[in-house]
Chain A
Amino acid sequence: MTDSISLDEVMSRIQSFREADTDDLEELSELLGLDLLKDYAGADLREVDLSYKKLEGADFSYSDLQGANLSHSNLRGANLEGANLSKANLTHADLTDADLSSANLTEAILTNTLGVEQDSNQEISEDTNWDIDFDIDFNTNFSDVKIVTRKPLEQAGTSPESLPIGISFLPRRIFGEIIVTSVELVEIIKEKVFSQSYFLNISARVWNVFSDSLRRISQAFSTGDDDSLSILGRERLLTGKILSFDRESKVIQFQIQSERDEDGLNQIFATMKEGNNFVILDACQGGVDNTVAEILLSGLHQEILDKGSFEITFIGGNRLGRSRSRRRSFKSQPLIRGQRIISSQVKEDRQIAKNNEEVTPSQNRE
């Protein structure tokens, strides 16, 4: 809003505003001559509802969006520099190219934020957008962010220094970075993120992930045993069983064991330990399987460092309902900002996956 208007006009607009039977911020803004995309920088937007809004390129810099509902909103390219997004609901929001420098995301809900693989049944194709430019800086506060899933945050920067101190993504995403970044960064993540934040700040949330995952996995496989979980989709190379589950002490003890393919399992671990190939067991969305994988990786931390370079293979996946697995490989190469480097193996695997999919429907009919 750049033009001043007469007092009469001010009163007239306020009258129209008061009579309007809408609670839509965009419509209310229009009645007052405000542009939702331009006029709310630095504004008090606490707990407003901006869900499902097209906010591409909006300027919300230094605004207070604490507790705001931004779920399913398109915030591509939005200026959120210095914005207070603590406790904001950004579920399914698209933050591609958004500027989050110095933003406060404490306790923001980022489930399925950032766009890709929002639908667990969404196919990964050549067109899948792995590239996001997601600017954060040392002042971006990710304390207690809830579940960052489905999209890697390699946009943390091109150098270890660009990782803000004290950020605390859920481990899944931390290792999402490890997968695609330089070995040196592993040390930084281990030191600055994993040890400081994960262990100190978000243990309770890890617990929630376990509980939720157990429930969903149990439903998916109808095992009848809530303490069982199966990983790796159709092949079921690996299953895990909770040995103890103590809410009071917050101690979770579980055992990973092979079910149908012990040789395959041992081969995986042998490869993880001795080769340059590490395996991520990627099953249910946001699931316990990821946490298992993350713990495995944390245990393998030193081995990863010793290798100098490594390759991660995803086996199985979040396709439990589709009864098939997928495999993805990522070569460890220097990180290029906003770009995931995918090895040629992926393309081959995708082709295999496509071929499998073509076969699957007839199999299902059988």
Chain B
Amino acid sequence: MQICQNYKPKADNKRPDCLYLDLQISADANENPNRLTLNITINFNEQEEILPLGKIKFGIRGGELRLKLSNGSAPYPSRGLIHQLELAIPQEISISNGYEKSLGGEISFPTPEKGSTAKLSGSGKSTTAKTEKSMIPLCQVSTKGDDSEPAWVFRLRNLGEEVLIGTLQDHLCEVLIEGKPFKLEAVFRVSGKEVWITDSYGLWTNADSRNRSAALGRFLVFQLLMPRLENYLSCLDFSLDSHDSASVIGDVA
């Protein structure tokens, strides 16, 4: 009989609208109780934030999730996400008034009777309007770091989007417990260049030029928003003490 132990780490999502991070940790007691399987749920979206001067809506265009393992390791072969660099999130796209073009060319070389001629021709036809669901690459994930501090870097892949929006649920990695006490800390951090203001209220007007709004937006991110996101955007803790593998600091699901 398979005995599967599920654990729920303590989570602190500072701005859960912007980033919600959860890890599902499980171990197969029969097979190897010291091998933990980690599955990730991560949701990106926009978040409202009230600043001294007004209100903004922001999101992120990337970030880094890093695990810090004490007495444990996450070997590269066990890491998930790395086999699909582009995680596609289904999006509805509209194709209308499409136009297919083709062009051909030919050349003839000069003869005594006539000069050299070249001909370039093209044709086109309209395509019918349609709407279809398609998998558009939105987020690129790559991994780095050694076995004790594996990291996953998320980056907006589709430059047509302003910020990451969508949910990923996938296998993250397997962790081998090599001693007690075992501790796992998962931290998601962003830098100022990964934070993007998507909307604002009362901060600047339509009359402001693009140069002015670009400068002020940058300043607000660095001086008013980033200090609030300092250290981390999300953090999860999970540990096993030195006496009992079932003794979990965190909740047993």
B124 part of interface (Cβ distance < 8 Å): yes
A201 part of interface (Cβ distance < 8 Å): yes
Do A200 and B102 form a contact, CB below 8 Å, given A23-B212, A44-B214? yes
A266 touches B219 (CB 8 A): no
CB-CB < 8 A to B44: which residues of A?
Answer: none
Mask of A287-301 contacts with B, CB within 8 angstroms, 1/0? 000001001101110
- Near B by CB (< 8 A), chain A positions 246-262 give 249-258
A25 touches B115 (CB 8 A): no
B121 touches A250 (CB 8 A): yes
Give chain A nearest CB distance to B88 CB in angstroms. 16
* Nearest A residue to B115, CB-CB: A257
A1 part of interface (Cβ distance < 8 Å): yes
CB-CB < 8 A to B62: which residues of A?
Answer: 42, 62
Bound complex: CA A7 to CA B52 (Å): 9
Do A203 and B101 form a contact, CB below 8 Å, given A4-B227, A23-B212, A34-B215? yes
Bound complex: CA A47 to CA B209 (Å): 9
A17 touches B215 (CB 8 A): yes
B32 part of interface (Cβ distance < 8 Å): no
A199 touches B216 (CB 8 A): no
- Near A by CB (< 8 A), chain B positions 180-211 give 191-197, 209-211
CB-CB < 8 A to A45: which residues of B?
Answer: 214
Mask of B152-174 contacts with A, CB within 8 angstroms, 1/0? 00010001000000000000000
B101 touches A200 (CB 8 A): yes
Do A24 and B219 form a contact, CB below 8 Å, given A198-B103, A201-B101, A299-B107? no
B107 touches A48 (CB 8 A): no
Best-buried of A4, A24, A44, A299 by chain B (most CB within 10 Å): A44
Do A255 and B115 form a contact, CB below 8 Å, given A14-B219, A43-B193? yes
Do A203 and B103 form a contact, CB below 8 Å, given A4-B223, A253-B119? yes
A312 part of interface (Cβ distance < 8 Å): no
Best-buried of B155, B215, B219, B224 by chain A (most CB within 10 Å): B215
Give chain B nearest CB distance to A354 CB in angstroms. 33
* Nearest A residue to B209, CB-CB: A23
CB-CB < 8 A to B102: which residues of A?
Answer: 199-200
CB-CB < 8 A to B218: which residues of A?
Answer: 29, 32, 34, 39-40, 43-44
Give chain A nearest CB distance to B204 CB in angstroms. 9
B122 part of interface (Cβ distance < 8 Å): yes
CB-CB < 8 A to B77: which residues of A?
Answer: none
A13 part of interface (Cβ distance < 8 Å): yes
Give chain B nearest CB distance to A315 CB in angstroms. 15
Q: Which of B108, B122, B214 contacts A251 (CB 8 A)?
A: B122
Bound complex: CA A223 to CA B223 (Å): 64
Q: Which of A42, A46, A86, A295 contacts B61 (CB 8 A)?
A: A42
Mask of A186-200 contacts with B, CB within 8 angstroms, 1/0? 000000000000111
Bound complex: CA A43 to CA B122 (Å): 41
Interface range for B:
35 or more
A250 touches B210 (CB 8 A): no
Best-buried of B62, B103, B114, B120 by chain A (most CB within 10 Å): B120
A5 part of interface (Cβ distance < 8 Å): yes
Bound complex: CA A239 to CA B117 (Å): 12
B224 touches A10 (CB 8 A): yes
* Nearest A residue to B197, CB-CB: A44
A64 part of interface (Cβ distance < 8 Å): yes
B193 touches A295 (CB 8 A): no
B217 part of interface (Cβ distance < 8 Å): yes
B135 part of interface (Cβ distance < 8 Å): no
Give chain A nearest CB distance to B56 CB in angstroms. 12
* Nearest B residue to A210, CB-CB: B120
CB-CB < 8 A to A298: which residues of B?
Answer: 105, 107
| Interfacial residues, chain A to chain B (CB-CB below 8 A) | 1, 4-5, 7, 10-11, 13-14, 17, 23-25, 28-29, 32-34, 39-49, 61-64, 82, 84, 86, 104, 198-201, 203-204, 206, 243, 249-258, 265-266, 269, 273, 292, 295-296, 298-300
A–B complex contacts, Cβ < 8 Å, 19 sampled: A10-B224, A11-B53, A13-B219, A17-B219, A25-B214, A28-B211, A34-B222, A39-B218, A42-B191, A42-B195, A82-B155, A206-B103, A249-B121, A253-B117, A253-B119, A257-B115, A273-B109, A295-B118, A298-B107
Q: 17 extra interchain contacts, Cβ-Cβ under 8 A, other than A64-B159, A84-B159, A299-B107? A: A1-B192, A1-B219, A10-B223, A24-B211, A28-B212, A32-B218, A39-B218, A42-B195, A46-B210, A49-B210, A199-B104, A203-B103, A250-B103, A253-B117, A255-B116, A295-B107, A300-B107
